[in-house]
C-alpha cells in the first residue's frame, strides 16, 4: 500500500529555522497524541526524536489496534525524517536549489503528523514545496491541528 508525501527542500535549513520547526512540532505532539496519532522513534518504538538538528518519527509498531483495523496492529511504516542538513542519495539532484525527499506512510495514522511537520517547515522555510497523494484531506487535517494549537497562539499562517 502506498500513500506518499513528497517535499522539495534546501540542502541546509538555517539553524534558527530548524530550532523553530523542532519547537513548534514539539508543542503539537501531545495534541496529536490526544487525537489518537501516537508517535514513536524512527523504528516504531521509543519516543520521537525532536532536536535542533532534526525531527524523526514513525507510528507505533505495536499500537494495540485490532488486527482488523487499517494498520493491522502496526501503525508504523517508513520513518519520517526532516534533518537540518540533508545528505542526498546519489539519485537525488537539486532542481532550482531544492532536493526531493519522500515518506510513504501507507495511510497509517502518523501520516497526519508528517503533514503537520511539513506545514511547520514550510512556514519557517517558505521555499519548501509540499505535495501528497493524500490531497486536501490530509493537508486539511494537518492545517486544522496547527491553526488550533500553534498558529492561533502566534497569529501565523502558512501559504502553500
For residue 92 the three cell numbers come to: 537525488
Digit-coded pLDDT (tens) for 68-80: 566 666 666 888 9
16 vs 140, higher pLDDT: 16
Lowest mean pLDDT among 7-11, 15-19, 59-63: 59-63
- Averaged pLDDT, 92-106: 92
- Predicted model pTM: 0.84
122: nearest Cα among 137, 136, 96, 142: 142
Cβ neighbours around 19 below 10 Å, total? 16
Residues 149 and 131: their CA atoms lie apart, in Å, by: 23
Beta bridge partners of 57: 80
Average pLDDT over every residue of 141-149: 67
Amino acid at each position: 500500500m502506498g500513500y506518499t508525501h513528497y517535499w522539495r527542500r534546501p540542502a541546509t535549513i538555517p539553524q534558527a529555522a530548524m530550532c523553530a520547526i523542532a519547537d513548534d512540532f514539539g508543542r503539537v505532539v501531545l495534541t496529536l497524541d490526544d487525537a489518537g496519532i501516537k508517535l514513536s522513534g524512527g523504528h516504531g518504538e521509543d519516543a520521537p526524536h525532536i532536536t535542533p538538528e532534526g525531527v524523526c518519527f514513525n507510528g507505533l509498531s505495536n499500537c494495540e489496534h485490532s488486527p482488523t483495523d487499517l494498520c493491522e496492529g502496526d501503525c508504523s511504516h517508513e520513518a519520517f525524517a526532516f534533518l537540518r542538513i540533508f545528505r542526498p542519495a546519489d539519485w537525488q539532484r537539486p532542481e532550482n536549489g531544492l532536493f526531493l525527499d519522500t515518506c510513504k506512510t501507507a495511510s497509517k495514522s502518523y501520516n497526519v503528523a508528517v503533514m503537520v511537520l511539513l506545514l511547520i517547515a514550510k512556514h519557517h522555510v517558505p521555499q519548501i514545496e509540499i505535495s501528497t497523494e493524500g490531497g486536501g484531506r490530509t493537508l486539511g487535517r494537518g492545517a486544522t491541528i496547527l491553526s488550533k494549537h500553534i498558529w492561533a497562539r502566534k497569529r501565523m499562517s502558512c501559504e502553500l
